[in-house]
Amino acid sequence: MPAPANKGAAPRIGLVSLGCPKALVDSERIVTRLRAEGYELSPSYEGANAVVVNTCGFLNSAKEESLAAIGEALAENGKVIVTGCLGVEADRIRAAHPGVLAITGPHQYEAVIGEVHKAVPRPHDPFLDLVPPQGIRLTPRHYAYLKISEGCNNACSFCIIPALRGRLKSRPIGEVMREAERLVDAGVKELLVISQDTSAYGLDLGYARSAWRGEEREARFLSLAEALGSLGVWVRLHYVYPYPHVDQVLPLMADGKVLPYLDIPFQHASPSVLKAMRRPAHQEKTLDRIRAWRETCPDLAIRSTFIVGFPGETEEDFAALLDWLSEVRLARVGCFKYENVDGAKANALPGHVPEEVKEERHARLMHHQQAISAELLAARIGTESEIIVDEVDEEGAIARSAWDAPEIDGNVYLNGETALQSGDRLRVGIEHADEYDLWGSVAAPSRADRRAELSGV
């Protein structure tokens, strides 16, 4: 049961955040607002006066997970407010959990806060000055997600995000850059740019100019990458589509302004499957484009995700995907088995693939890519890489290189480096590799010199 509201003590709200980094950013906004109003956060159900569950509604399995999380919060606490993508299916939530206090949809920050006020009255003396100007973040202190737009103008047949989140709505570049600056001032060393379609940034604004540091800038992908690249921190670009204008950011990567990393959700390589998926940029000459990118920036790492077993995918389509992977040699790959999503157009496509075939293709793709990944990582043994430290324990430091986004990619392990701190950036020599991770040692100059150099002493 929830903790009784202690007289005089700040009310405490629990938060369960499910789903993608975009949902995490929504959770951060809710938390920032609650803290600004004087609420405390509770790390446990027992200590909370109410719980907000930020749900995911992307795949049916994610919906099930969200419903289970709501059920758990109800059983453990009893006062539950639901928000996020699954919130658009209020009837379904109420049918499963009639006891929820309120349901709001994605990005309805005001509505969530209003429901919290009803459930747990707002404290009389908000500690506004306790909220740092960069807001409250749920990621570790040295990296932060930077959301540049909401929604999407595409119409991929397996996806209901445009229906859930609406059409592309970009934030003005001045606003994005001021948030980025606040984060860097607060100690963030790596900015992860997220949206549904990063390369489309600014299209809906007509690339409108806005001011940052006294200079007018266009809300365009390149202009944003240049401005972020001037902040002196790692900048990582997620959810980019291979449109021709993406070529323009490769020189920034070659110059070390932006990390040589592109997260491009290709989803497939067979033209007929891509057409059935209605993917953006599927008619672009992707292989030629990637070759040209690598000429400009040889160290470029491309990460991607793929869906196997899409309706109509034949054995030839799947073989074409494996051949394409052999040719393109992506650094990082994730793979999902196709699932129907309520409301998606792909549900009605002919030729649904049996589960056991999806399973078998998933295993084949992962095995195929594992060999490619092992070769690419083995080639890095004997080289030096700049890394950022995520965690330090009694055995050493766990870090990442430019090739590794947090949570989804590999790690660089530095055994014995217990004196490093999270957020440290330094050069290491790579000594060992497996299919996904690297092991290395701090490169000369000595660690002490390097730390002094890093801290500007």
Site residues (CB under 6 A) for ligand SF4? 152, 154-156, 159, 161-162, 196-197, 280
Which tokens is 133 given? 């100007």
Contact partners, residue 449, CB within 8 Å, separation at least 6: none
Q: What 3-state class would DSSP assign to 429?
A: strand
3-state secondary structure of 181: helix
Q: Closest separation between CB of residue 306 and ligand SF4, Å?
A: 13
Residues 6 or more apart whose CB falls under 8 angstroms from that of 188 comprise 134, 141, 142, 143, 144, 233
In the bound complex, what is the minimum distance in angstroms from residue 387's beta carbon to ligand SF4? 30
Q: Identify any residues that bridge with 143 across adjacent strands, giving them in sequence order.
A: 190
Over its C-alpha atoms, the chain yields an Rg (Å, rounded) of 23
Minimum CB–partner distance for residue 190 and ligand SF4 (Å) = 23
* Phi, psi of 353, deg, nearest 5: -90, 135
Q: Which is nearer to ligand SF4, 198 or 223 (CB)?
A: 198
**Sign of the four-CA dihedral 39, 41, 44, 45:** positive
Q: Which helix (H) or strand (E) holds 16?
A: strand 12-17
412 vs 385: CA distance, rounded Å? 10
Q: How far is CA 211 from CA 9, 97, 121, 227, 401, in A?
A: 43, 47, 39, 11, 33
Do the strands 384-393 and 332-337 form a parallel or antiparallel pair, or are they unpaired? unpaired
Q: For ligand SF4, which is the closer residue by CB, 159 or 430?
A: 159
Rounded to whole angstroms, the Cα distance separating 95 from 99 reads 10
Residue closer to ligand SF4, measured from CB, 155 or 371? 155
CB 7 → ligand SF4: shortest distance, Å? 47
Shortest Cβ 62–ligand SF4 spacing (Å): 14
Judged by beta carbon, residue 227 or residue 277, the one nearer ligand SF4 is 277
Look up residue 78 and give its two tokens. Answer: 């009893």
If the CB atoms of residues 233 and 405 are measured against ligand SF4, the closer one turns out to be: 405
CB-based contacts of 232, cutoff 8 Å, min separation 6: 184
Query: Which one, 157 or 370, has the nearer CB to ligand SF4?
Result: 157
When the beta carbons of 161 and 398 are compared against ligand SF4, the nearer one is 161
CB of 155 to ligand SF4, least distance (A): 6
CB 170 to ligand SF4: min, Å: 14
Helix (H, G, I), strand (E, B) or coil at 251: helix
Cβ 91 to ligand SF4 shortest distance, Å: 23
Q: In this complex, which beta carbon is closest to ligand SF4, that of residue 78 or of residue 166?
A: 166
